Amino acid sequence: MERIRADLCVIGAGSGGLSVAAGAAQMGARVVLVEAGEMGGDCLNVGCVPSKALLAAGKAAQAMRTAGAFGIRPVEPEIDFAAVKDHVARTIAAIAPHDSQERFEGLGVRVLRDWGRFVSPTELRVGARTVTARRFVIATGSRPVVPPIPGIDQVETLTNETIFALRERPEHLIVIGGGPVGIEMAQAHCRLGVKVTVIAGGKALAKDDPELAKFVLDRLRAEGVDLVEGASAEAVEGRAEGVAVKAGDRWIVGSHLLVAAGRKPALEALDPAAAGVEVTEKGVKVGADLRSSNRRIYAVGDAAGGLQFTHLAGYHASVVIRSILFGLPSKATALIPHVTYTEPELAQVGPTEAEARKLHDDRLEVLRVPFSGSDRAQAEAETEGLVKLMVARGRPVGVSIVGPQAGEMIGLWAVALASGTKLSTLAGVVLPYPTIGELSKRAAGAYFSPKLFDSRVVRTAVRSLQRLLP
């Protein structure tokens, strides 16, 4: 059996693991990277990248249906579903070289393409090899959960891991789950000519601000998605037409079933107990420094049991590299923005209004700026949307945005919240006209407008000064 010694062994070649491996190797550490599946992990192969490519195809189709607003005759697009999937595959292929085994071996990383399993607190068995390392990083990601609904094990189910491989367009796609994944896939498929029903046990997009989520859900309904809220999937059975799901008092019959009901950390094959690593249902139990109960072993991304975002895994990588390579104290403390990439987009950083009220009580001020006030939004006939700004003691504490380019707009607010930027700074910045981004400046300015323009003291002072100034 080959024995490999390394400074660092990274388990999982998704976003977090690749970032750790690349950074450590380029700074001189001896790095081993273990991956049994596809390089790039879920995000590249069956997650973020293919879903956004599919959404882009749906957006192009929808633009043909809604061109009448611009004086262009709308038409129903002819959709070649297999060709759409070719677009998805090309998108993955274009990005794949950046995450490839060849690139990482070029950086000096030893890549082992097999399953890893801990056999001691300092050793990982990988096929016929044993890796001994000073530090380990668990970056194994997560897998979709198929809930134990009676009968679901008797029918074919799709998850994010399998739906992008479909080459024939479904007649009727039933989606179990009203979170971001389910809602994104519902809109994408509906726009590509698929009848879609979404079953959400509670409110769809329940973790987002309900005032803003309503914009997205109303758009889906207007486009033809049958959105069933407050009715959990109680039973599943096969039918001649495909599959039937009981939700509340009705049976919904469709051709295909997509389960988007959450994810769980992929840790079982790793045998973390053999390394003295404590785990919970959410993932590896870690501190703010992302260290596990075995101080030689860290966890990042979905495996660390927190929010499940690709960009969070990348941020985690920067935290653990500082500690592993330089022995410096480092904690994961950043505010993490997130986006649902529907049309309109839905973005959030910091607490929602309801969460902010619990934190700041009566000191909270909520400012709303509609997209209809943007000249650019008017020109592009995309005026449905809202910027909601939560302010406490004169500083922004949370921002919710729904509308076109919300995902791009939230970046400014992520910087502002992370740096403690004052609203006066944001209100004073000069932005190009006409841009959607001007709405952020307008939201910041809305905090000061009543104090300036509706103040009797200010108006009296200005009149007095006008008499005195030469």
The string of DSSP letters for 7-63 reads EEEEE--SHHHHHHHHHHHHTT--EEEE-SS-TTHHHHHHSHHHHHHHHHHHHHHHH
Average pLDDT rounded to a whole number, residues 167-193 = 98
Task: Give me the percent of the chain exceeding a pLDDT of 70.
Answer: 96
Does one domain contain both 51 and 186? Answer: no
**Residue 52 maps to a domain:** yes
Mind giving me the DSSP string for 228-273? EES--EEEEEEETTEEEEEETTEEEEESEEEE-S-EEE--GGG-GG
Does one domain contain both 273 and 131? Answer: yes
Q: Domain range spanning residue 103?
A: 2-143+264-326
Mean pLDDT across the chain = 95
State the Cα–Cα distance between residues 5 and 7, nearest whole angstrom: 7
- In this structure, of 9-23, 182-196, 374-388, 446-460, the range with the lowest mean pLDDT score is 446-460
Does one domain contain both 252 and 269? Answer: no
Does one domain contain both 314 and 371? Answer: no
Residue at which a domain ends, from 261, 288, 311: 261
**Residue 295 maps to a domain:** yes
pLDDT in the model for residue 451 = 61
**Residue 30 maps to a domain:** yes
Model confidence pTM above 0.75:
yes
Condensed to tens digits (0 to 9), the pLDDT of residues 70-92 reads 999 999 999 999 999 999 999 99
Condensed to tens digits (0 to 9), the pLDDT of residues 379-401 reads 999 999 999 999 998 899 999 99
Condensed to tens digits (0 to 9), the pLDDT of residues 318-364 reads 999 999 999 999 999 999 999 999 999 999 999 999 999 999 988 89
CA 236 to chain centre: 29
Longest dimension (CA), the chain: 93
Does one domain contain both 257 and 284? Answer: no
Residue 436 sits in a domain whose CATH number is 3.30.390.30
Does one domain contain both 271 and 367? Answer: no
**Residue 469 maps to a domain:** no
Indicate the burial class of 253 (C-beta count within 10 angstroms; 0-12, 13-18, 19 or more). Answer: middle
Condensed to tens digits (0 to 9), the pLDDT of residues 400-414 reads 999 999 999 999 999
First-to-last C-alpha distance (Å) of the chain: 92
Residue 244 sits in a domain whose CATH number is 3.50.50.60
Does one domain contain both 69 and 130? Answer: yes
Instruction: List the structure tokens of 417.
Output: 């919240």
Total domains present in the chain: 3
Does one domain contain both 268 and 136? Answer: yes
**Residue 339 maps to a domain:** no
Does one domain contain both 26 and 12? Answer: yes
Residue at which a domain ends, from 228, 261, 294: 261
Does one domain contain both 7 and 91? Answer: yes
pLDDT in the model for residue 156 = 97
**Residue 460 maps to a domain:** no
Does one domain contain both 159 and 139? Answer: no
Does one domain contain both 275 and 256? Answer: no
Residue positions counted in the chain:
470
